[in-house]
Amino acid sequence: MVFSILPNQIQAQEVARKTLRGKVNAYANSLSGIYVINTSTEKAAITEENGYFAIPAKEGDTLMLSSINFKGLKYAITKETLVQDLFFVKMLPLMHQLDEVQVFQYKNINAVALGIIPKGQKTYTPAERRFKAATGLDTQIGLNTSLTIDPLFNLLSGRTAMLRKAIEVERKEFMMDKIDNTFDHDYFVQKLKIPEEYVRGFYYYIVENKRFANAMNSKNKAMATFVMGELAVAYIEMNNLGVCKE
C-alpha cells in the first residue's frame, strides 16, 4: 500500500512547480547570458537579450543569478512571486579593472595533436548538426553554396538564432562535464572554500572565462587549476560569501 502512494506523492511534488517568468533589471547595455539557477533542482535558464527568462520553481525555492559581468544574487520564491505574471530581479553590474592582460597561445596543443580527431576532418556536435541541417550553414565556415527554401525560411523565422544559442549552451554543458571528470567535488568546497550550495553556480561562472576554457580544452590541468583559483577568489567576493581564510 505504501509503494502505491509514493509515485503519486512524487508526481504531486513535480506538479507543484510552475514555470515562472522573470526579467532582470540592471543598468547595462546587454542583459543576455545571465545564468538563473534553481538551487533546489539544479535546473538552470539563461536570460535573453532584454533580460527575460523562464524557469520552473515553487514556493520555498531559491534562484541564484550569476554572470561574469554582474554581482551574484539570490532570490527567494514566495507566494507573491508565484501569482505574478512577470517578476523583476534587480542586479548590479561589476566594474572590472585590469592591471595587466597576458595572452597565452598553445599552437601545438589541439584536438588533432592529441589524437582526438584525424587531421583535416570536420566533426559536429549534435547541436551543430541540427544547425547545419536547418540552415544550410556551417557554424565555422559560413554560407553553404546550396542554400534551399527550408534553411531560408528558418533564417527568416528566427529559428537560426535559437539553434545558434543551443550550440553555445551545449558547449558550456560539455565544459561542465569536463570539470566534473577532472576535479573532485570536495576540491571546490575544501580547497577553494566555496560553500556547498554555491558550487554549481561556480561552474556556470567559470565556464564563461576564456582562459579557463582554453586550459580545459587543451587538457592543461595545471593552468586550469591556477585560473580557477583566481576565479574562486573573485566569485566569493562577488557573492559576499564571507568565507574566512585559514
Helix H, strand E, coil C: the string for the chain is: CHHHHHHHHHHHHHHHCEEEEEEEECCCCCCCCCEEEECCCCEEEECCCCCEEEEEECCCCEEEEEECCEEEEEEECCHHHHHCCCEEEECCECCCCCCCCCCCCCCCCCCCCCCCCCCCCCCCCHHHHHHHHHHCEECCCEECCCCCHHHHHHHHHCHHHHHHHHHHHHHHHHHHHHHHHHCCHHHHHHHCCCCHHHHHHHHHHHCCCHHHHHHHHCCCHHHHHHHHHHHHHHHHHHCCCCCCCC
Q: Is position 244 within any domain? A: no
Report the CATH number that the domain containing residue 28 is assigned in CATH. 2.60.40.4130
At CA 210, angle to CA 222 and CA 106, rounded to 5?
55
Does some domain include residue 147? no
Report yes or no on 135 lying in a domain.
no
In a domain, 69, yes or no: yes
- Out of 93-97, 101-105, 201-205, 223-227, which region has the weakest mean confidence (pLDDT)? 101-105
**pLDDT tens string 132-158:** 555 555 544 444 444 444 555 555 555
User: In this structure, is residue 179 part of a structural domain?
Assistant: no
Per-residue confidence at 59, pLDDT binned at 50, 70, 90?
very high
Structural domain includes residue 70: yes
pLDDT at 193 over 70: yes
Nearby residues of 175 by Cβ (< 8 Å), 6 or more positions away = 207, 213, 216
Does the pLDDT at position 123 exceed 90? no
Percent of the residues in the chain that have a pLDDT greater than 70, as a whole number: 61
Q: What length does the chain have?
A: 246
Q: Is residue 236 situated within a structural domain?
A: no
Average pLDDT over residues 218-232: 88
Model confidence at 173, pLDDT cuts 50, 70, 90, reads: confident
Q: Residue 180 domain-assigned? A: no
What is the total count of domains within the chain? 1
Domain extent at residue 61: 17-90
Cβ–Cβ under 8 Å, residues 91 and 26: yes
